[in-house]
Structure 1
């Protein structure tokens, strides 16, 4: 439940071992190539390698035994392999076991060229025919959408004074065209609706003398002209028949070619996959080589390694080379000039919620990971707002069923569903039905959420949840500021200690003024005023505490103008925070009230099947429409009310070198 500790490892070695070392770094899959080399001062301070420095920085020549030869540089090896695999129906998979063998890139290319010369012509023919089939099928779909299949397009081509075009327009551009009707010297007719497409088919007819201006207007509307394949003529119905004939012929030809290469496919499929993995690895090696510092006899490359994987990386390098030197420094030793990558490390419960954090941004290396806190507060908010045993069970089972398809998001849905079930037992709600409809239903509160006795309690529960969530948010923000030694924001800022004091005194002042709890208004009001003054004076106060001079880094007038606006923003934010968390309880009441509306409608009909149908439709609407709204509300609370207190999100993602193609 933290951010992985990183170590910056400088690998210095002989150029003759460069490719084997980089190969091991890639296959390890726990090494992030450092691209922050622009900040050379930071590295010069810590990585002074005396006997290598002049060679690394003073020369650019390179002689590598396994690098790309001039005669194969121009060849697109991966493209050839992928075309062969596509034509032969071979599924390409990354297999690191294949890469344990030794090879020479020239031998690899010779093998590839032999396979390509043996099968390439047939495979190319198959791929070309498949592309033609794809184009014909797209054309057929568009022609088939034309309503009048007997439209004689050939006769239209014989007109002396008019020309026509058939093509596609998106719905958005259709409205733009309507607005320009008065500037268009043409007739526009929609002649077909294309299924599962944003575009419809149109015919445009115009006088020949207006061809230029019509073309310009259509170009501005992204007019997608329907291009007829060569030899396809007649009415739409006749064209469809001609296309089907061609498609059958092409498919038969592909079947014949496929049968011809089937025997060789069995022999070459493993070789193609092997070549794919080797060339994939070689591409990655060359990408790293381009980023390395290279001298006459040595190379140097900087990589970030997880502290927990450091010994494994060292062991992998030692297996392939004896002529190397490693120097390591932690992120803390390097200081703020260097930006380490961020890799989140969370337990099984919080792990899926990393997706929501990354949607916003990635925490910096020296920030607290917000994922565990987000996981707990998001689930609590969703449970309070959408507590129902049956509906929560639907979400849980849906997430379970889609786990392999949508990954982390399915995990989020499962956890939100489980929380909904828990709060369903609190409210005593099963698919919207409560204890008075289902007496056997367990419930911690009596009378359901909409009972007059329970409404204030649920609203207060939302506020208490909000106070808890915001308190932890302020603590996160203060800790993050202290980690970065930012006294000004950590103590005196609007999200620091005085910011939290202001927020709590603001809440207590409202409680005192409204008489909800009998407390004197003077104490919180005094703390509130002291806090707002501290926030306004944060820069001079912080400079005073740290002994920095001058107290103001700009003119006092400009500073106080800016600070007063910030104080107003702080007051508005405190009000917004309070109202936002009142909504949590309000959504819980809304959830119960929405189903009550469907329950009342079901009681107005006598037919039992109609009653069940109304209740089922009600639950479907609640699960879809209201479920999405509650999810968005939970997301809004995280992003706007909580993250703004503590999360800057300036992290660089840890992207390990690996075979990814």
Structure 2
């Protein structure tokens, strides 16, 4: 419905408390912090908090160690131990030396999941003890199931085997033999196509388990310190005060202040106008129905803080245009149910939009008398409600086609005029008089286009004629002149020189083609809305084909009916959705929406 009002806040603490202040800022649910480089300047005498972040290197080192040995580094929810830099560096040095052997052991094997299962079973025998045997040799690997059968037929075997793991294709085994027969045994297993897996020289899991607790504690501490140091970019120092400046939603200011309870921190609130060099962030505020349409707005551009939020207008016009082009009571009902269900399950905004356009699809489907392509089922209802012979609106009636297309253009003209009013309201708010009075989307354009709309409608609908010189001079001639001299007139209002930068000759030549393009755009923009009527006919035509196929296929008709409806919903729904969005962006947004806003981000989402 609007853009959330913001308050400028400054949070300050002494040198001894600033880290606790930063921790509270990081976990805040309401603070959008500004980078200190935007705050500090020569005039206010501030300086940046510049401390080398050595913890970033510690975190990367620990992650690399974990990656090399197959151990995932995860920080604990709460910090349990603290360390000095000397303790961390000593620990890292010892760990790197110890884990170099582990890393080499892990990297020397490219193991599958089944290989890991077999090794897990073999681990019970102790890898180190197996390698320390002086008179017995061990080997392991995966053996094809067919070879297992042959293995059982060998007589006078000079080895013993044990099964470690088995799948439908392989059996993992370990064998043991004396050193005397080691070469002969290996050759025999090669003949049975044993795919050997090297038995690790050490048990890496045991070594990792010894260090796991301390690794996690050190990583948790370094990760927390690294996050804290990354927040230094928001800290400005004024004399002996450490200050964070940012924006908080006005309605949440009191809640924000309570987040610093128990800490020796000062929180001061100011109006956003008190810091003209800082641009307040934009946080859209819309109700449940219109909130999903924020996605379309932000895809184009986020509105600036002091501009208007077009989400409600986008939601209304998108639903309205989609409903006209995809008018079917039954299909709209499925869109409504499916969209709202997916929105509830996945919180997906696009699904929410689908659910909402289903409502207008149902409304226009009822007016068109169409239920899953059946054009006759609602005839009795229409007769009773609207006192008509058949249906209130029969889009397939050839006599209605021209009325439909003209209605589409009229809808477009009304929307264009509304967007002009919105554009004028925005420029009036910003006191941009040149754009307000002289642009094609300002007062001059509104008078020009509005006059033509009323004149044409009056001529063909009401029978009066205002296409006379008395009316054309002020409403056509004058606006064109204002279009032509928009730049010098805008400069005149601003107290600047009206002489164009490139001289009057270049100005006249360039502006002539610009004005011609403006006039042409009024025509092309209006005609663009013909697609609304076109897709009404397209949707009705596709459903006519489906119903014809249902009648032709006899007993298979119900199946064809379901598949045909689903196909039309998927194809036509996608096309209509895209075309409606195109109308929003190219025919409406371009007239009144400038964007360029800064997104409201919590510190926790920036880091």
Give the TM-score category using the shorter length: 0.7 to 0.9
Aligned residue among 510, 522, 547 for 1:599:
547
Distance, in Å, in 1 between the alignment partners of 2:108 and 2:30 is: 43
Report deviation, 1:28: 0.7
What is the aligned partner in structure 2 of residue 75 from structure 1? 58
Q: 1:457 to 1:654 in 2, by over 3 A?
A: same
What is the aligned partner in structure 2 of residue 365 from structure 1? 305
Aligned residue among 445, 453, 457 for 1:507:
453
* CA shift digits 1:411-448 (9 cap, x unpaired): 11111222212222221212111225986799874363
What is the aligned partner in structure 1 of residue 279 from structure 2? 339
* CA shift digits 1:505-524 (9 cap, x unpaired): 233444467x3542312266
Distance, in Å, in 2 between the alignment partners of 1:345 and 1:82 is: 46
Tell me, yes or no, if the aligned pair for 1:83 and 1:127 is still in contact at 8 Å: no
Kindly report which structure 2 residues correspond to 1:163-242, keeping only aligned pairs within 5 A, or say none.
Answer: none
What is the aligned partner in structure 2 of residue 15 from structure 1? 15
Distance, in Å, in 2 between the alignment partners of 1:312 and 1:110 is: 41
What is the aligned partner in structure 1 of residue 6 from structure 2? 6
What is the aligned partner in structure 2 of residue 430 from structure 1? 371
2:546 aligned with 1:563 = no
TM-score, length-scaled by structure 1: 0.67
Q: Extract unaligned runs of 5+ from structure 2.
A: 116-191
* CA shift digits 1:527-583 (9 cap, x unpaired): 122222222222343455x37243345333333333322322221221122112222
What is the aligned partner in structure 2 of residue 376 from structure 1? 316
2:391 aligned with 1:450 = no
Q: What count of residue pairs does the alignment treat as equivalent?
A: 518
Tell me, yes or no, if the aligned pair for 1:8 and 1:305 is still in contact at 8 Å: yes
* CA shift digits 1:46-86 (9 cap, x unpaired): xx5xxxx4xx33x8776xxxx96x5x553116953994899
Distance, in Å, in 2 between the alignment partners of 1:517 and 1:320 is: 74
Aligned residue among 286, 290, 296 for 1:356:
296
Relative to structure 2, which stretch is displaced further, 78-87 or 397-406? 78-87
Distance, in Å, in 2 between the alignment partners of 1:275 and 1:80 is: 12
Distance, in Å, in 1 between the alignment partners of 2:494 and 2:403 is: 50
Distance, in Å, in 2 between the alignment partners of 1:623 and 1:344 is: 32
Distance, in Å, in 2 between the alignment partners of 1:394 and 1:84 is: 49
Root-mean-square deviation (CA), in Å?
A: 4.4
Q: Determine helix, strand or coil for the equivalent of 1:9.
A: strand
Q: 1:421 to 1:431 in 2, by over 3 A?
A: same
2:592 aligned with 1:646 = yes
Distance, in Å, in 1 between the alignment partners of 2:365 and 2:109 is: 55
2:314 aligned with 1:397 = no
Relative to structure 2, which stretch is displaced further, 308-317 or 478-487? 308-317
What is the aligned partner in structure 1 of residue 140 from structure 2? none
Distance, in Å, in 1 between the alignment partners of 2:87 and 2:339 is: 45
Distance, in Å, in 2 between the alignment partners of 1:543 and 1:276 is: 62
Tell me, yes or no, if the aligned pair for 2:308 and 2:426 is still in contact at 8 Å: yes
* CA shift digits 1:454-483 (9 cap, x unpaired): 434543443343233223211221122122
Relative to structure 2, which stretch is displaced further, 611-620 or 291-300? 291-300
Distance, in Å, in 2 between the alignment partners of 1:27 and 1:517 is: 65
Distance, in Å, in 2 between the alignment partners of 1:509 and 1:583 is: 24
Tell me, yes or no, if the aligned pair for 2:9 and 2:246 is still in contact at 8 Å: yes
What is the aligned partner in structure 2 of residue 162 from structure 1? none
Tell me, yes or no, if the aligned pair for 2:56 and 2:226 is still in contact at 8 Å: no
Q: 1:425 to 1:73 in 2, by over 3 A?
A: closer
Distance, in Å, in 2 between the alignment partners of 1:627 and 1:600 is: 21
What is the aligned partner in structure 2 of residue 616 from structure 1? 562
* CA shift digits 1:269-322 (9 cap, x unpaired): 9x95x9877655543321220342347743233222222223333333353225
Distance, in Å, in 1 between the alignment partners of 2:105 and 2:549 is: 61
What is the aligned partner in structure 1 of residue 353 from structure 2? 412
Q: 1:349 to 1:430 in 2, by over 3 A?
A: same
* CA shift digits 1:153-201 (9 cap, x unpaired): xxxxxxxxxxxxxxxxxxxxxxxxxxxxxxxxxxxxxxxxxxxxxxxxx
Relative to structure 2, which stretch is displaced further, 648-657 or 550-559? 550-559
Tell me, yes or no, if the aligned pair for 1:9 and 1:329 is still in contact at 8 Å: yes
Report deviation, 1:339: 2.0
Relative to structure 2, which stretch is displaced further, 79-88 or 32-41? 79-88
Q: 1:120 to 1:410 in 2, by over 3 A?
A: farther
Distance, in Å, in 2 between the alignment partners of 1:349 and 1:612 is: 35
Q: Extract unaligned runs of 5+ from structure 1.
A: 137-240
Distance, in Å, in 2 between the alignment partners of 1:367 and 1:632 is: 26
Aligned residue among 601, 604, 607 for 1:658:
604
What is the aligned partner in structure 2 of residue 519 from structure 1? 464
Tell me, yes or no, if the aligned pair for 1:81 and 1:275 is still in contact at 8 Å: no
Distance, in Å, in 2 between the alignment partners of 1:504 and 1:79 is: 69
TM-score, length-scaled by structure 2: 0.72
Distance, in Å, in 2 between the alignment partners of 1:39 and 1:296 is: 14
